[in-house]
A and B are shown apart, each in its own frame.
Chain A
Amino acid sequence: MCLAIPARITAVHDNHMATIDLAGVEREVSIELVDAGVGDYVIVHVGIAIATLDEEEAKKTLAMFDELAELQSENQSEGPA
């Protein structure tokens, strides 16, 4: 559960704090629990980054959907057997 949102780190400060940016809205969050730097996306929950977003995995997931869509349109164009 838990409202947590992916946001981009735009600056890293002392004390494991960082500035995250989401469409121009900034907040200071703790990055003590993640290995992340400027430009990385982190999942932020109640002021803490709890995970770094894995862009490779995200790409793989999205690629899967492209495949799915292709498969469906092939099935449709083939029509009933």
Chain B
Amino acid sequence: MKFIDEYRDSATIRSLLAQIGSEAESGRTYRLMEFCGGHTHAFYRYGLLPLLPLNVEMVHGPGCPVCVLPISRIDAAVALAAKEGVIFCSYGDMLRVPGSDGKSLLKAKAEGADVRMIYSPLDAVRLAVENPEAEVIFFAVGFETTAPATALALKQAAAQQIKNFFIFCNHVLTPPAMRAILDYEDGEQACSIDGIIGPGHVSAIIGSSAYRFVADEHHIPLVISGFEPVDLLTAVLMLVRQINAGQAVIENRYRRAVKDEGSPQAIRLMDELFELRGSFEWRGFGMLADSAQKLSAGYAAFDAELKFDVSYEDAVDHKACRCAEVLRGQIQPEACSVFAKLCTPENPLGACMVSSEGACAAAYSYGGGRS
């Protein structure tokens, strides 16, 4: 398949690995964070981690929008789904995430809630049209890659004057999360990152300049990467080079999909339909200012949080769950004492083990997951 197979070419991969091996200086460690959960998944799926030199370590970032949602919002989603007359639409990823007492959307479905898995927010709009007597709620989750799709669906619903379509908006933003990781660095439990692999498709939307603060304020290099093994290894190589040269520059190595200015159309659309929340709770980071989106005032009629009586009970993670530390890159999944023992994809204690972009799920499914 074009634009996929070329970036999985064995010879190129071996070539890049050899180059990384020769340029990574012995006696020096390179702690690189791949911010994006999709990148984490790809590293594990292609078995790249054991092939990197021992002194190049990948630290997994919090770029998993399913994983960073706090339990209170999962509980709110489950409560919405259970309401009489509601059709609750969600991406497949969210269905097994455990809320309080392990209650998930899938369990709610088994208990009679009308929960539907959809592939696109446009499908939820269609469901609203096809089921005029029901109230269709779309569980909008995702970083900036996914938010434009929600915005398009919302725009469509508004244009068609659909009265029974609502969005439970949980879109979060990448730069604030990256800041939170790097600021955590400066505190006591620093995780000392030397370089960052920047998200691929988020960057296609927000562009490369959004990360300038990483280089300017923290003097850490960032290389934007695609998702194929060749892309990831290129990014690793470029980071090693920058680190060796003492450089800190934002590099775009996914030029076939990412323009430096991002997607002005998508940004404009989101500006029109969404507005910033003052603050939002993130698993692993607590409350972060200006880090999430909600529907803008003009679209209040579609906001599920306004239409339904959504309350947020303070809820805590399972006491053995260390998702927060995994999300901050402070521990690897295997360091969590319940990893692969009490906490497995069949019985997840936290979201990191159930989202397929979660670091724990990737580690468990693809390797290193045996106790």
Task: Report yes or no: B256 in contact with A33, Cβ–Cβ below 8 A.
Answer: no
Interface bits B253-265 vs A (CB < 8 Å: 1, else 0):
1011111000101
Contact residues in B for A47 (Cβ distance below 8 Å): 119-123, 149
Q: How far is the CB of B155 from chain A (nearest CB, A)?
A: 8
B16 contact from A3, A32, A53, A68, Cβ within 8 A: A68
Q: How far is the CB of A13 from chain B (nearest CB, A)?
A: 13
The complex places the Cα of A6 from the Cα of B63 at a distance, in Å, of 21
Chain A positions 30-47 with a Cβ under 8 Å from a chain B Cβ: 30, 32-34, 41, 43, 45-47
Number of A-B contacts (CB under 8 A): 121
B145 contact from A45, A53, A68, Cβ within 8 A: A45
Q: Counting CB contacts under 8 A, is B266 at the interface?
A: yes
Chain B positions 1-22 with a Cβ under 8 Å from a chain A Cβ: 1-4, 6, 9, 11-12, 15-16, 18-19
Contact residues in B for A45 (Cβ distance below 8 Å): 145-146, 149, 201
A60 contact from B19, B255, B357, Cβ within 8 A: B255
Task: Report yes or no: A50 in contact with B15, Cβ–Cβ below 8 A.
Answer: no
User: How many A residues touch B, CB cutoff 8 Å?
Assistant: 33
A8 contact from B2, B19, B123, B266, Cβ within 8 A: B2
Question: Which residue of chain A lies nearest to B174 when distances are taken between CB atoms in the complex?
Answer: A1
Q: Identify which of B35-43, B180-188, B272-280 touches chain A.
A: B35-43
B contact residues, range: 35 or more
Question: Which residue of chain B lies nearest to A64 when distances are taken between CB atoms in the complex?
Answer: B234
The complex places the Cα of A75 from the Cα of B190 at a distance, in Å, of 40
Known: A46-B121, A47-B149. A1 touches B38 (CB 8 A): yes
Contact residues in B for A81 (Cβ distance below 8 Å): none
Contact residues in B for A46 (Cβ distance below 8 Å): 91, 119-121, 142, 146, 149
Task: Report yes or no: B265 in contact with A34, Cβ–Cβ below 8 A.
Answer: yes
The complex places the Cα of A57 from the Cα of B9 at a distance, in Å, of 18
Task: Report yes or no: B19 in contact with A51, Cβ–Cβ below 8 A.
Answer: no
Task: Report yes or no: A2 in contact with B146, Cβ–Cβ below 8 A.
Answer: yes
Contact residues in B for A77 (Cβ distance below 8 Å): none
Task: Report yes or no: B143 in contact with A2, Cβ–Cβ below 8 A.
Answer: yes
Task: Report yes or no: B266 in contact with A1, Cβ–Cβ below 8 A.
Answer: no
Q: Counting CB contacts under 8 A, is A48 at the interface?
A: yes
Known: A6-B4, A54-B257. A1 touches B149 (CB 8 A): no
Contact residues in A for B63 (Cβ distance below 8 Å): 1
Contact residues in B for A34 (Cβ distance below 8 Å): 263, 265
Task: Report yes or no: A69 in contact with B1, Cβ–Cβ below 8 A.
Answer: no
Task: Report yes or no: B122 in contact with A53, Cβ–Cβ below 8 A.
Answer: no
Q: Counting CB contacts under 8 A, is A22 at the interface?
A: yes
Contact residues in B for A22 (Cβ distance below 8 Å): 1
Contact residues in B for A62 (Cβ distance below 8 Å): 6
Contact residues in B for A61 (Cβ distance below 8 Å): 234, 253, 255-256
Q: Counting CB contacts under 8 A, is A55 at the interface?
A: yes
Q: Counting CB contacts under 8 A, is B64 at the interface?
A: yes
Contact residues in A for B148 (Cβ distance below 8 Å): 33, 48, 50
Known: A33-B266, A47-B149, A50-B204. A1 touches B199 (CB 8 A): yes
The complex places the Cα of A37 from the Cα of B36 at a distance, in Å, of 30
The complex places the Cα of A32 from the Cα of B12 at a distance, in Å, of 35
Contact residues in A for B121 (Cβ distance below 8 Å): 46-47
Question: Which residue of chain A lies nearest to B231 when distances are taken between CB atoms in the complex?
Answer: A61
Contact residues in B for A6 (Cβ distance below 8 Å): 1-4, 257
Q: How far is the CB of B267 from chain A (nearest CB, A)?
A: 10
Q: Counting CB contacts under 8 A, is B205 at the interface?
A: yes
* 18 A-B contact pairs sorted by A residue (CB < 8 Å): A1-B38, A2-B38, A2-B199, A2-B201, A30-B152, A33-B148, A45-B201, A46-B119, A47-B122, A50-B148, A51-B201, A54-B257, A58-B3, A58-B256, A61-B255, A62-B6, A68-B19, A72-B18
**Footprint of B on A, CB under 8 Å?**
1-6, 8, 22-23, 30, 32-34, 41, 43, 45-48, 50-51, 53-55, 57-58, 60-62, 65, 68-69, 72
Instruction: List 4 other contacts, CB 8 Å, given A51-B257, A65-B16.
Output: A6-B257, A43-B257, A47-B121, A58-B3
> Which 6 residue pairs are nearest across A and B when measured between Cβ atoms?
A47-B120, A1-B38, A57-B255, A6-B3, A2-B145, A1-B36
